[in-house]
């Protein structure tokens, strides 16, 4: 059901008023008995007010719970820190995939909200765009106010990390669609980039350097394979494994996807008009081979040296227990690199230093050579 402002239905004065604030007691079949609880939805709206407001900037307009959110785009220098002469809007949408099945199974709801934001904003910044606002969609079998609030709290936390406003969303209680306890979450993000920044981006050339930014783990891709490995190997999600640093498997698997907004946008601001960066890629489904190639033209290849970094322990753990070939691991998972930046060789040191000052731990993972538009891992 929508997150809406409380309303009263207009009726004749001769009839007893029906109020959304004071639901009447019904002797007949009710919507709640059919599986949808309007009162629970209204409770969620009230619970999330302070959570959502923490993500607001001066650009957000309108009332909480309105039918649509409003966001200002103008040149009021007194109001906004960042303004654009020729703004280009950038938009994307994504979800969390079957990672939500583990969250539902173990009733850990807040982390996948961060995942949802990350999967969107990390795509957005590849275009050099600053995330402006975010909207989420929750589909559930049953709208439990506490659990649903936890999900939205995670989304809001992700928005705070990314520096964007949680402008609105939808909670849909659909017991005929979702099995008891199941849910899904998806998001929609809109950002903005200066036109000049999109036009001046240089093409990737032979000799350019590929820099990788570490992931926090599996992120939000490959969980269908993860769950199959756990099932076939008869692993326990709740067991603490020495190979995972003594952590429970479920806690490692539900580690939220890293959000790279502040580091990448910060880097772009530091570099300014310098033609240092020639391409970027968010490493999602398809891994390094399937995503770095999206930044390339068809006359160059990216040669990735897998010995230049050590993947987090979860990856060799899954590979060993699943009997998965190394090539398949790199084709499915990020293998410890969540984001890549391709730079001119004479700018590599500057970019590495800037990223380190921004709190990152960048690593050179490859080089660009003449080729056919492929990203190859060795």
3-class DSSP string for 132-179? EEEEEEEEECCCCHHHHHHHHHHHHHHHHHHCCEEEEEEEEECCCCCC
In angstroms, rounded to a whole number, what is the distance separating the alpha carbons of residues 9 and 27? 21
User: Cα angle at 324 between 321 and 325, to 5 degrees?
Assistant: 140
Strand boundaries in 263-343, DSSP class E: 277-282, 300-304, 337-343
Mean pLDDT of 295-317: 96
**Element containing residue 198 per DSSP (H, E):** helix 195-199
Q: What is the pLDDT, as a whole number, of residue 197?
A: 80
C-alpha dihedral sign at 208, 213, 217, 219: negative
Q: What is the pLDDT, as a whole number, of residue 22?
A: 56
Paired residues of 304 in beta bridges: 366, 377
Burial (CB < 10 A; 0-12, 13-18, 19+), residue 376, is: middle
187 & 247 share domain:
no
Mean pLDDT of 98-112: 95
222 & 106 share domain:
no
Is 160 contained in some domain? yes
157 & 44 share domain:
yes
Mean of the per-residue pLDDT values for the chain? Answer: 87
Give how many domains the chain has, as a whole number.
2
- Our CA dihedral for 105, 108, 113, 115, rounded to 10 degrees, sits at -70
Percent of the chain with pLDDT over 70: 80
**Residue 234 per-residue DSSP state:** T
| Helix, coil or strand: residue 99 | helix
Question: For the segment 72-85, what is each residue's pLDDT rounded down to a tens digit?
Answer: 776 565 555 567 78
69 pLDDT above the threshold of 90: no
Mean pLDDT of 279-290: 96
Residue ending a domain, among 199, 226, 257, is: 199
pTM across the whole model: 0.85
Domain containing 64 equals: 34-199
In angstroms, rounded to a whole number, what is the distance separating the alpha carbons of residues 301 and 372? 6
Burial (CB < 10 A; 0-12, 13-18, 19+), residue 3, is: buried
Residue ending a domain, among 165, 199, 233, is: 199
61 & 168 share domain:
yes
Is 40 contained in some domain? yes
Question: Is 56 or 1 the better-scoring residue by pLDDT?
Answer: 56
Question: Strands 165-173, 277-282: parallel, antiparallel or unpaired by DSSP?
Answer: unpaired
194 & 218 share domain:
no
4 pLDDT above the threshold of 50: no
Is 10 contained in some domain? no
Question: Is 232 or 49 the better-scoring residue by pLDDT?
Answer: 232
Burial (CB < 10 A; 0-12, 13-18, 19+), residue 26, is: exposed
In angstroms, rounded to a whole number, what is the distance separating the alpha carbons of residues 126 and 218? 20
40 & 178 share domain:
yes
Q: What is the pLDDT, as a whole number, of residue 35?
A: 65
Q: What is the pLDDT, as a whole number, of residue 321?
A: 97
Least confident of 4-8, 30-34, 241-245, 274-278: 4-8
Residues 6+ apart with CB under 8 A from 367: 207, 208, 209, 210, 302, 303
Q: What is the pLDDT, as a whole number, of residue 142?
A: 87
Is 21 contained in some domain? no
25 pLDDT above the threshold of 60: no
Which range, 10-19, 30-39, 325-334, is most confident?
325-334
- Our CA dihedral for 365, 371, 372, 375, rounded to 10 degrees, sits at -10
Q: What is the pLDDT, as a whole number, of residue 84?
A: 76
Q: What is the CATH number of the domain that holds 154?
A: 3.30.1330.10
Residue ending a domain, among 177, 199, 221, is: 199
100 & 130 share domain:
yes
Residues 6+ apart with CB under 8 A from 318: 226, 229, 324, 329, 333
| Helix, coil or strand: residue 194 | strand
For residue 192, count other CB atoms closer than 10 A to its CB: 17
Is 12 contained in some domain? no
Q: What is the CATH number of the domain that holds 262?
A: 3.90.650.10
12 pLDDT above the threshold of 90: no
Is 215 contained in some domain? yes
310 & 226 share domain:
yes
In angstroms, rounded to a whole number, what is the distance separating the alpha carbons of residues 329 and 321? 12
187 & 215 share domain:
no
Mean pLDDT of 174-202: 88
Residue 101 pLDDT grade (very low, low, confident, very high; cuts 50, 70, 90): very high
204 pLDDT above the threshold of 60: yes
Residue of 193, 174, 159, 215 lying closest to 268 (CA atoms) = 193
237 & 366 share domain:
yes
Is 18 contained in some domain? no
344 & 215 share domain:
yes
Residues 6+ apart with CB under 8 A from 271: 277, 347, 350, 351, 354
187 & 232 share domain:
no
Is 126 contained in some domain? yes
Question: For the segment 327-358, what is each residue's pLDDT rounded down to a tens digit?
Answer: 999 999 999 999 999 999 999 999 999 999 99
């Amino acid at each position: 059901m929508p997150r809406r402002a409380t309303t009263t239905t207009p009726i004749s004065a001769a009839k007893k008023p029906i109020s959304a604030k004071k639901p009447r007691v019904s002797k007949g079949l009710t919507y709640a008995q059919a599986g949808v609880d309007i009162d629970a939805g209204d409770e969620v709206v009230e619970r999330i007010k302070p959570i959502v407001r923490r993500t607001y900037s001066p650009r957000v307009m309108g009332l909480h719970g309105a039918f649509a959110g409003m966001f200002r785009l103008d040149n009021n220098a007194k109001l906004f820190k960042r303004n654009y002469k020729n703004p280009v809007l950038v938009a994307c949408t994504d979800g969390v995939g079957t990672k939500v099945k583990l969250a539902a199974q173990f009733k850990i709801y807040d982390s996948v909200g961060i995942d949802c934001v990350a999967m969107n904003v990390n795509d957005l910044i590849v275009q050099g765009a600053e995330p402006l606002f975010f909207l989420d969609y929750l589909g559930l079998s049953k709208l439990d106010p506490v659990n649903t609030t936890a999900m939205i709290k995670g989304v809001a936390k992700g928005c705070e990390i990314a520096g964007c406003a949680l402008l609105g969303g939808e909670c849909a209680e659909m017991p005929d669609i979702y099995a008891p306890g199941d849910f899904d979450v998806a998001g929609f993000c809109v950002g903005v980039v200066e036109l000049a920044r999109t036009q001046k981006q240089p093409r990737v050339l032979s000799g350019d350097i590929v820099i990788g930014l570490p992931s926090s783990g599996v992120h939000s891709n490959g969980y269908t394979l993860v769950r199959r490995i756990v099932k076939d190997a008869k692993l326990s999600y709740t067991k603490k494994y020495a190979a995972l640093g003594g952590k429970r498997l479920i806690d490692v698997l539900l580690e939220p996807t890293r959000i790279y907004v502040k580091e990448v946008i910060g880097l772009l601001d530091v570099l300014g008009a310098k033609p240092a960066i020639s391409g970027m890629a968010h490493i999602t489904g398809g891994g390094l081979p399937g995503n770095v190639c999206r930044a390339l033209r068809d006359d160059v290849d990216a040669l990735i040296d897998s010995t230049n970094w050590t993947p987090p322990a979860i990856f060799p753990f899954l590979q060993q227990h699943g009997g998965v070939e190394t090539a398949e691991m790199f084709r499915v998972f990020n293998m410890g690199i969540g984001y890549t930046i391709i730079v001119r060789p004479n700018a590599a040191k500057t970019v590495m230093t800037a990223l380190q000052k921004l709190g990152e731990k960048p690593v050179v993972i490859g080089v660009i050579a003449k080729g056919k538009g492929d990203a190859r891992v060795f």
